[in-house]
């Protein structure tokens, strides 16, 4: 890997003048990442991060406030093993170990989103990262707990919309921030309190932004014919700005719980989301200098209601924990002419109930059920997926046993999924089974090793099965194929797709206490009948045909993250983090899996005082030449980010001033995981300033 040390050193000296030393310290200050044994909510078992066999990343507290962005993928992209599949500035879906979309289960408080984000790369998910109190990322197969869509990993966004305990008084947060790259203005508010046995919660976010500034041209000059006069004009008009990338969104939530005197609670919440954003395309100017946007806009609305309960029990069971959600989701895709091209709707319900078996110091276990029903429909001239009812029902169990220096975890899950078209007889019914076994060897108080093997199955989703497929399970005639305007493809499903089978092996080393902390994970994931979208290179009326196909595939890789202190002097503390991840994915027959992120590595320097901190983060991303069939390569880049904040104590309240510069070197960044990488690069240099008041 080739780093530009001269460039990095110059910027580091200018922004972060730190006296380096080899002195190591055990005690850390207020702004440091404390070595606290955090309980992993997503694991269901009452296990800390150090004691679970899951490779997990946690984003919470000040680090979450620092990383939070407009999309979930952008918020998480600095987590080891995680990248973002951007589709313009308003869509960024997380990619874990090279797998994304319908292989990464995105949860809100442990329950699925029930939106349309997994159906197409241009659909934003209905989560607002600014309202999260904690985000947990489970890397690798987590299908035992969260089902068919979790074969690649789980992202669980956890907030306090349903209070789980009684607050000591009224608390609140007000935050405002502005980003220069698109003049994005974000306002966040939250208020919580309680009286008697009733705890309540109110929150809201408003976000508005203009078109994003980009370095150079939004359109990749290497992707067009420069001799074509029209394409050359479009290239020139894309200079410095990502046209049709402006957005506006708002979220409001109310929730309340009855807290039981002897422990436990029952509560509910109501959430409303509205989001309007553009899918970047080309632009040209008409008469009188008026600009005509040749791009699709999406207007999204979602209403969600949640009920959650935790009841202490006796005898064979310690407690019952359950959550039930209903969602009314829709979005319309508006054509450049202003006409509605397609209306997507998905109404659904999902529930998950878990019984914790009576536990001891050496044994813990759960049994549970997970069910969902969704009515999916796409109506309009560009509706390429038929109306479908989607049902699933699952039973699962997970157990943990301690034996001396070893902890053993094992579990099983069975799930029945049914997809039934509202018209015709083209249906799909599958029963999948998954199992896992893992061992943690604690060979010292500070370190452990994990060994795991998982066998997971995944049924095909509605878009993989039924895109441009008629009611008799046959491909539509060429003259009736419907283009997906946002992706500029004719997507054709695979109605007879087999169940995917994934066999995953993993070895990890973790040091979670002491001066030096970190982890290394090696994984090997063999997937038979892997379903993927293949750009065929065949065009129909200048629109490329993209088919869902199956092939055996192999994913393997490594993740590394190490933190160690450099110097402590009085109230000053300096530390450094080294990180990197690499994933390789290839088909057994021949060729590479498309849209796999390239190798990346870097370091972060951090200096903290009692009331302030400053960080400099350098990431070197290599070019990606291991491309799929008919897939373009992407170049590497150097990403340099800077962050600083200052706390102002005000009695029982606190004000936080923060300043952030992303892409300080103004590099051209095209995410290889993005279907729109040749039209919509990542933003250029951005300066963000904000103020947060907590009481």
Token readout for 544 is: 């490329």
Chain segment 137-171, per-residue pLDDT in tens = 988 766 678 887 788 889 999 999 999 999 989 99
CATH number at residue 23: 2.40.170.20
Most confident of 221-225, 229-233, 313-317, 582-586: 582-586
347-to-111, 162, 306, 399, 412 alpha-carbon distances in Å: 15, 22, 14, 34, 29
* pLDDT for 294: 57
* pLDDT for 150: 82
Higher-scoring residue by pLDDT: 341, 503: 503
Lowest mean pLDDT among 51-60, 267-276, 436-445, 613-622: 51-60
Number of domains present in the structure of the chain: 1
* pLDDT for 508: 94
* pLDDT for 19: 36
Lowest mean pLDDT among 12-16, 441-445, 583-587: 12-16
Given a cut of 70, whether residue 95 has pLDDT beyond it is: yes
Is 477 within 8 Å of 394 (Cβ atoms)? Answer: no
Average pLDDT over residues 282-291: 40
Q: Percent of the chain, pLDDT > 90?
A: 65
pTM, rounded to two decimals: 0.89
Burial of residue 286 (CB within 10 Å: 0-12, 13-18, 19+) is: exposed
Average pLDDT over residues 59-72: 92
* pLDDT for 52: 77
Given a cut of 60, whether residue 289 has pLDDT beyond it is: no
Is 543 within 8 Å of 534 (Cβ atoms)? Answer: no
The secondary structure of 268-303, three-state, reads EEEEEEEEEEEEEEEEEECHHHCEEEEEEEEEEEEE
pLDDT band at 34 (very low <50, low <70, confident <90, very high): very low
* pLDDT for 384: 87
pLDDT band at 593 (very low <50, low <70, confident <90, very high): very high
Helix, strand and coil content of the chain, in percent to the nearest 5, comes to 10, 55, 35
What does the alpha-carbon distance between residue 599 and residue 267 come to, in Å, rounded to a whole number? 44
Lowest mean pLDDT among 180-184, 230-234, 334-338, 511-515: 334-338
Token readout for 265 is: 């609670």
Question: How many residues appear in the chain?
Answer: 695
Other residues' Cβ atoms within 10 Å of the Cβ of residue 22: 7
* pLDDT for 176: 97
What does pLDDT average to over the chain? 88
* pLDDT for 142: 62
Residue 210, φ and ψ in degrees, nearest 5: -95, -175
Given a cut of 60, whether residue 631 has pLDDT beyond it is: yes
* pLDDT for 537: 85
* pLDDT for 450: 92
Q: What is the extent of the structural domain holding 66?
A: 5-694
Average pLDDT over residues 65-75: 93
* pLDDT for 321: 96
Token readout for 509 is: 């080393």
Given a cut of 50, whether residue 286 has pLDDT beyond it is: no
* pLDDT for 8: 39
Q: Beta strand 239-242 with 92-96: parallel, antiparallel or unpaired?
A: unpaired
* pLDDT for 152: 86
- List 59's β-bridge partners, or say none: 135
Other residues' Cβ atoms within 10 Å of the Cβ of residue 443: 10
pLDDT band at 292 (very low <50, low <70, confident <90, very high): very low
* pLDDT for 615: 97
């Amino acid at each position: 890997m080739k780093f530009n040390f001269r460039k990095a050193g110059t910027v580091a000296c200018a922004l972060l003048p730190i006296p380096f030393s080899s002195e190591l310290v055990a005690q850390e200050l207020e702004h440091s990442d404390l070595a606290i044994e955090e309980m992993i909510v997503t694991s269901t078992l009452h296990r800390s991060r150090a004691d679970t066999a899951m490779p997990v990343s946690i984003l919470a507290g000040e680090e979450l406030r620092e990383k939070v962005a407009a999309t979930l993928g952008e918020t998480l992209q600095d987590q080891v093993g995680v990248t973002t599949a951007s589709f313009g500035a308003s869509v960024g879906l997380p990619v874990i170990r090279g797998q994304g979309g319908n292989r990464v289960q995105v949860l809100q408080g442990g329950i699925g989103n029930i939106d349309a984000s997994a159906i197409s790369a241009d659909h934003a998910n209905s989560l607002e990262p600014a309202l999260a109190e904690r985000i947990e990322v489970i890397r690798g197969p987590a299908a035992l707990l969260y089902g068919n869509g979790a074969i690649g990993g789980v992202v669980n966004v956890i907030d306090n919309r349903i209070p789980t305990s009684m607050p000591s008084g009224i608390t609140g947060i007000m935050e405002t921030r502005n980003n220069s790259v698109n003049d994005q203005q974000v306002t966040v508010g939250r208020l919580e309190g309680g009286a008697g046995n009733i705890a309540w919660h109110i929150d809201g976010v408003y976000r508005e932004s203009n078109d994003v500034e980009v370095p150079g041209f939004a359109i990749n000059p290497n992707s067009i014919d420069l001799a074509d006069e029209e394409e050359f004009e479009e290239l020139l008009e894309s200079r410095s700005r990502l046209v049709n990338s402006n957005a506006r969104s708002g979220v409001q939530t109310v929730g309340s719980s009855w807290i039981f005197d002897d422990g436990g609670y029952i509560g509910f919440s109501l959430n409303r989301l509205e989001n309007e954003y553009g899918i970047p395309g080309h632009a040209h100017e008409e008469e009188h200098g008026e600009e005509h946007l040749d791009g699709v806009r999406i207007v999204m609305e979602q209403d969600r209601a949640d009920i959650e309960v935790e009841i202490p029990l006796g005898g064979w069971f310690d407690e019952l924990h359950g959550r039930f959600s209903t969602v009314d989701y829709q979005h319309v895709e508006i054509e450049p002419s202003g006409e509605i091209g397609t209306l997507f709707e998905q109404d659904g319900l999902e529930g998950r109930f878990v019984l914790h078996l009576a536990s001891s110091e050496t044994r813990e276990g759960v049994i549970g059920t997970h069910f969902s029903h969704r009515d999916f429909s796409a109506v309009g001239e560009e509706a390429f997926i038929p109306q479908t009812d989607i049902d699933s029902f699952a039973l699962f169990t997970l157990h943990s046993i301690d034996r001396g220096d070893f902890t053993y975890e094992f579990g099983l899950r069975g799930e029945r999924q049914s997809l039934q078209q509202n018209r015709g007889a083209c249906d799909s019914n599958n029963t999948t089974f998954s199992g896992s076994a893992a061992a943690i060897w604690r060979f010292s108080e500070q370190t452990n090793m994990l060994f795991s093997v998982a066998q997971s199955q995944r049924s095909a989703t509605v878009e993989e099965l039924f895109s441009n497929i008629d009611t008799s399970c046959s491909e539509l005639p060429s003259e009736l194929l419907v283009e997906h305007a946002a992706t500029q493809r004719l997507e054709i499903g695979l109605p007879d797709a087999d169940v995917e089978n994934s066999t995953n092996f993993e070895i990890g080393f973790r040091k979670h206490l002491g001066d030096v902390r970190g982890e290394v994970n090696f994984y090997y994931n063999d997937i038979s009948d892997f379903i993927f979208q293949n750009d065929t290179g065949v065009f129909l009326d200048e629109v490329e045909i993209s088919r869902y196909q199956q092939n055996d595939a192999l994913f393997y890789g490594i993740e590394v993250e190490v933190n160690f202190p450099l110097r402590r002097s009085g109230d000053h503390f300096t530390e450094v983090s080294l990180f990197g991840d690499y994933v390789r994915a290839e088909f057994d027959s021949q060729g590479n899996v498309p849209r796999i992120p390239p190798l990346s590595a870097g370091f972060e320097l951090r200096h903290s005082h009692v009331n302030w901190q400053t960080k400099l983060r350098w990431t070197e991303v290599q070019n990606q030449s291991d491309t799929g069939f008919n897939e373009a390569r992407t170049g590497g880049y150097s990403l340099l980010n800077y962050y600083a904040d200052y706390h102002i104590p005000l009695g029982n309240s606190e004000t936080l001033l923060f300043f952030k510069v992303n892409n300080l070197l103004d590099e051209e960044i095209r995410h290889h995981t993005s279907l729109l990488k040749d039209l919509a690069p990542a933003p250029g240099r951005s300066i963000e300033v904000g103020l947060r008041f907590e009481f």
